[in-house]
């Protein structure tokens, strides 16, 4: 196990900068998720840590050792790839023991480690099969087995669940999380799925355009996003945004006046973006009116698309209210859960 | 889902296939049957599809008139060496062109491919002079070295390159993380996965070498060094006319290993060609 430190890490392809100087500290045993939209540089950053991409500038340290110029094999990392990358011509057991074999492990030691990993992941009955004879979930487990078998300092996961169906993804998410809790190996996990990030991470790093937007614990990012990008990216359904002006009476958005917290009063007269999560609307007869456009009952909650002033917003209500399109409901945004962002640079104001 | 063909359509299609089969099967049938016919029956009209009498002595005469066993061995070992050599050279070159980034890789590959456009008749004279200077004329070296580093190997390199290009890059990356260097990745990961392409390279290289005619008649002059295609032309009478039935018996014996190899390995051959994109 080891800590991982990135200091001003940069990556360019010719004149095009992909990663613009990232600083990140990952403590020993931490589960860090790099999350962001497609093309934000999260996989590139992971591959730079793995040694599969060269580093244009800055420094990558694993276990206190600078690894910039080391081959992947000398970094003591293990990686799980998006497409599993299992060797098709080798059995599950050979796949799992392959790296140990090439590091000079004895046959007995390899067999023991493979058995240990197979027992943890429930792969024991599959050891003699070939990858083509396995289901997607089983292949995923073998890829994980191959990673854990030689007890590396750091696990790197590159969108490992993106090829699985929704149900299996949830199962495997749990398995990866419990594997980490059992082994306590430092883990860096890349995903574009913010639900995966929220449920698995000790710490989330939100990336956008090759820059870090925010680093923090999942609930910190959820409760206090540093800017409009993070606010919109974290959370499902995503946060509602209304553009307007902060005034002494409240927040003036097109066609509606909304309440603001006291912390916003210092920004009087400023153009801003008003952010409110769908679950932070409270039904109240004295509240602001909203015209219902679409009702989507989910069972445990009801998702409602409605027109607040001139802006379409989404609300999530746990109450079993009877709502129908065209009707008007009244509600208040919860004052403690209102987020205000500057209209120009998107930075948090309150 | 594919639509089921009507019975009438199926009969028509099978009939058409049978007709199309004739030009491919008839020459082989004629060769095999004529090898046991008396010479007078070979060109009889209408042709005898099934011989009226069988003369098996033609096969023993094949071995009496020439050192046919030695010639058979010559063809076999030359073809084997050329096949192995081409597999080694083309798999390594194909891998390098597909996977290793080096300056002007594509340009160099195009230049290599140009070798396919030059007919062997154009290069045969300079090659003869070169091998003459090296003291290799009337030896088997030219028949081994020219294909390994010439057009057959270029074609094989193209086939292998197309295969390696399609190999997922993540496999190599996983191998790098697992601790393998470039050569071990090639040997332990890429090469075992390239078996279908290697099989097709092996088959067409073997066939090319087995059937090679121009180079042997230029480079070889002693009967005991001849290869089979060259030996076939030597079954002539005192006036230089072909001894048809004996020649066809020798041709049947010559074609036998090729047919066996193709029947055994035709699946790999088709798969290998499919990987190259040469087949639709």
Q: Say whether B177 and A77 touch across the interface (CB within 8 A).
A: yes
Residues A4 and A31 sit within 8 Å (Cβ to Cβ): no
> B191 and chain A: CB distance < 8 Å anywhere?
no
Looking up tokens 């991470």 gives A201
- Residue B174 included in any domain: yes
- Residue B206 included in any domain: yes
Best mutation target, A79, A91, A163, to test chain B (most B CBs within 10 A) = A79
Q: Tell me which chain A residues have a C-beta less than 8 angstroms from the C-beta of B169.
A: none
Residues B211 and B229 sit within 8 Å (Cβ to Cβ): yes
Q: Dump pLDDT digits (tens) for B194-226.
A: 988 898 899 889 989 999 999 999 999 999 999
Torsion angle of the four alpha carbons A119, A124, A128, A134, in this order, in degrees rounded to the nearest 10: -100
Annotate A74-95 with DSSP letters as a single string: GTTEEEE-TT----TTS-HHHH
Q: Tell me which chain A residues have a C-beta less than 8 angstroms from the C-beta of B187.
A: none
CATH of the domain at A300: 2.40.50.140
Residue B280 above 50 pLDDT? no
Q: Tell me which chain A residues have a C-beta less than 8 angstroms from the C-beta of B168.
A: 83, 85
- Residue A347 included in any domain: no
Q: Say whether A87 and B174 touch across the interface (CB within 8 A).
A: yes
What's the Cα-to-Cα distance from B161 to each of B89, B116, B172, B188, B230, rounded to whole Å? 12, 15, 15, 17, 33
DSSP B70: H
* Confidence (pTM): 0.81
Same domain flag for A162 and A204: yes
Give the residue among A218, A137, A119 at the shortest CA–CA distance from A173.
Answer: A137
Same domain flag for A227 and A246: no
- Residue A56 included in any domain: yes
Q: Residue B278: which pLDDT band, with cuts at 50, 70 and 90?
A: very low
Q: How far does the CA of residue B22 sit from the closest CA of chain A (Å)?
A: 41
- Residue A61 included in any domain: yes
d(CA A145, CA A126): 12
Chain centre to alpha carbon of residue A54: 24
Looking up tokens 């020649």 gives B247
Same domain flag for A55 and A109: yes
Q: Dump pLDDT digits (tens) for A130-147.
A: 999 999 889 989 999 999
Domain that holds residue B171: 32-39+55-276
Same domain flag for A152 and A13: yes
Best mutation target, B163, B178, B188, to test chain A (most A CBs within 10 A) = B178
- Residue A284 included in any domain: yes
Q: What is the mean pLDDT of residues B47-64?
A: 88
Number of domains in chain B: 1
Q: Dump pLDDT digits (tens) for A206-256.
A: 999 999 999 999 999 999 999 999 999 999 899 999 999 999 889 999 999
Q: Tell me which chain B residues have a C-beta less than 8 angstroms from the C-beta of A73.
A: 176-180
Quick one: which H or E segment has residue A212?
Answer: strand A211-216
CATH of the domain at A10: 3.40.50.300
Same domain flag for A226 and A107: yes
Helix, strand or coil, per DSSP, at residue A249:
coil
Residue A203: its pLDDT value, please?
96
Same domain flag for A205 and A279: no
Last residue of a domain, one of A233, A265, A299: A233
d(CA B240, CA B231): 14
- Residue B45 included in any domain: no
Quick one: which H or E segment has residue B15?
Answer: helix B7-34
Domain that holds residue A269: 240-342
**Residue of chain B whose Cα is closest to the Cα of A77:** B177
Best mutation target, B167, B179, B187, to test chain A (most A CBs within 10 A) = B179
Find the CB nearest A81 among B170, B189, B192: B170
- Residue B15 included in any domain: no
Last residue of a domain, one of A233, A249, A280: A233
Best mutation target, A43, A88, A94, A154, to test chain B (most B CBs within 10 A) = A88
Q: Say whether B189 and A87 touch across the interface (CB within 8 A).
A: yes
Q: What is the mean pLDDT of residues B33-62?
A: 86
- Residue B20 included in any domain: no
Q: How far does the CA of residue B188 sit from the closest CA of chain A (Å)?
A: 10
What's the Cα-to-Cα distance from A137 to each of A161, B179, B274, rounded to whole Å? 9, 26, 30
* Long-range contact set of residues B107-114: C-beta below 8 Å, sequence gap at least 24: B109/B161, B112/B154, B112/B157, B113/B154, B113/B158
| Burial tier of A119 (Cβ tally within 10 Å: 0-12, 13-18, 19+) | exposed
Find the CB nearest B171 among A51, A87, A146: A87
Rounded to the nearest 5°, which phi and psi values hold at A265?
Answer: -65, -25
Residues A275 and A260 sit within 8 Å (Cβ to Cβ): no
CATH of the domain at B129: 1.10.3720.10
Q: How far does the CA of residue A147 sit from the closest CA of chain B (Å)?
A: 9
What percentage of chain A reaches a pLDDT higher than 90? 78
Same domain flag for A253 and A214: no
Q: Say whether B171 and A85 touch across the interface (CB within 8 A).
A: yes
Same domain flag for A157 and A248: no
Residue B279: its pLDDT value, please?
39
Q: Say whether B176 and A98 touch across the interface (CB within 8 A).
A: no
d(CA A46, CA A30): 15
Q: Tell me which chain B residues have a C-beta less than 8 angstroms from the C-beta of A131.
A: none
Same domain flag for A34 and A154: yes
Residue A299: its pLDDT value, please?
87
Residue A271: its pLDDT value, please?
94
- Residue B18 included in any domain: no
Find the CB nearest A103 among B170, B179, B192: B179
Residue B273: its pLDDT value, please?
62
Q: What is the mean pLDDT of residues B99-125?
A: 91
- Residue B176 included in any domain: yes
Same domain flag for A220 and A244: no
Edge-to-edge strands of the sheet including A311-317? A311-317, A302-308, A281-297, A328-333
Residue B267 above 80 pLDDT? no
Question: In chain A, which residues have pLDDT < 70?
Answer: 1
Helix, strand or coil, per DSSP, at residue B25:
helix
> B174 and chain A: CB distance < 8 Å anywhere?
yes
> B183 and chain A: CB distance < 8 Å anywhere?
no
Same domain flag for A40 and A174: yes
Same domain flag for A221 and A299: no
Number of domains in chain A: 2
Last residue of a domain, one of A207, A233, A259: A233
């Amino acid at each position: 196990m080891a800590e991982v430190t990135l200091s001003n890490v940069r990556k360019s392809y010719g004149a095009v900068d992909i990663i613009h100087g990232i600083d990140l500290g990952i403590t020993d045993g931490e589960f860090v998720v790099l999350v962001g939209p497609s093309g934000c540089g999260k996989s590139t950053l992971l591959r730079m840590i793995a040694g599969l991409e060269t580093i244009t500038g800055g420094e990558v340290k694993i276990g206190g050792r600078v690894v910039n110029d080391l081959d992947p094999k000398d970094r003591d990392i293990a990686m799980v790839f998006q497409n599993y990358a299992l060797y098709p011509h080798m059995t599950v057991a050979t796949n799992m023991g392959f790296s140990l074999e090439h590091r000079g492990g004895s046959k007995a030691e390899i067999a023991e480690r493979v058995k240990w990993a197979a027992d943890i992941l429930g792969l024991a009955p599959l050891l003699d099969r070939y990858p083509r004879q396995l289901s997607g979930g089983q292949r995923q487990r073998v890829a994980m087995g191959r990673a854990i078998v030689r007890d590396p300092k750091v696990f790197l996961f590159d969108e490992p669940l993106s090829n699985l169906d929704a149900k299996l993804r949830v199962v495997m998410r749990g398995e990866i999380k419990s594997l980490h809790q059992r082994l306590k190996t430092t883990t860096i996990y890349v995903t574009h799925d913010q639900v995966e990030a929220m449920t698995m991470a000790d710490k989330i790093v939100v990336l956008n355009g090759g820059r870090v937007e925010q680093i923090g614990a999942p609930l910190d990012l959820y409760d206090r996003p540093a800017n409009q990008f993070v606010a919109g990216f974290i959370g499902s359904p995503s946060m509602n945004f209304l553009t307007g002006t902060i005034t002494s009476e409240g927040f003036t958005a097109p066609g509606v006046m909304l309440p603001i917290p006291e912390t916003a009063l210092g920004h009087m007269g400023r153009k801003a973006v008003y952010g409110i999560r769908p679950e932070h609307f409270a039904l109240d007869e004295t509240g602001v009116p909203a015209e219902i456009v679409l009702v989507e009952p989910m069972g445990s909650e009801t998702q409602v698309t409605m027109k607040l002033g001139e802006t379409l917003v989404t609300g999530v209500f746990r109450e079993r209210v009877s709502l129908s399109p065209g009707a008007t409901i009244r509600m208040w945004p919860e004052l403690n859960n209102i987020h205000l962002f500057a209209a120009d640079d998107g930075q948090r104001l309150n | 889902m594919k639509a089921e063909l009507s019975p009438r359509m199926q009969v028509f299609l099978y009939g058409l296939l049978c007709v199309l089969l004739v030009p491919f099967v008839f020459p082989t049938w004629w060769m095999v049957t004529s090898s046991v016919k008396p010479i007078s029956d070979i060109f009889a009209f209408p042709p005898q599809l099934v011989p009226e009498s069988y003369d098996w002595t033609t096969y023993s005469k094949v071995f009496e008139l020439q050192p046919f066993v030695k010639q058979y061995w010559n063809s076999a070992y030359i073809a084997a060496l050329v096949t192995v050599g081409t597999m080694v050279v083309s798999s390594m070159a194909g891998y390098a062109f597909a996977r290793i980034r080096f300056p002007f890789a594509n340009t160099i590959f195009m230049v290599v491919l140009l070798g396919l456009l030059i007919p062997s008749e154009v290069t045969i004279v300079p090659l003869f002079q070169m091998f003459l200077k090296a003291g290799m004329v009337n030896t088997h070296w030219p028949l081994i070295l020219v294909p390994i580093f010439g057009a057959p190997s270029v074609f094989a390199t193209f086939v292998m390159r197309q295969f390696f290009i399609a190999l997922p890059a993540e496999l190599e990356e996983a191998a790098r993380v697992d601790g393998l260097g470039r050569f071990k990745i090639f040997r332990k990961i890429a090469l075992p996965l390239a078996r279908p392409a290697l099989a097709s390279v092996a088959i067409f290289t073997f066939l090319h070498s087995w059937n090679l005619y121009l180079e042997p008649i230029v480079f070889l002059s002693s009967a005991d060094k001849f290869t089979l295609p060259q030996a076939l032309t030597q079954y002539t009478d005192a006036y230089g006319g072909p001894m048809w039935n004996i020649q066809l018996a020798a041709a049947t014996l010559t074609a036998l290993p090729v047919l066996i190899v193709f029947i055994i390995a035709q699946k790999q051959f088709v798969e290998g060609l499919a990987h190259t994109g040469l087949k639709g």
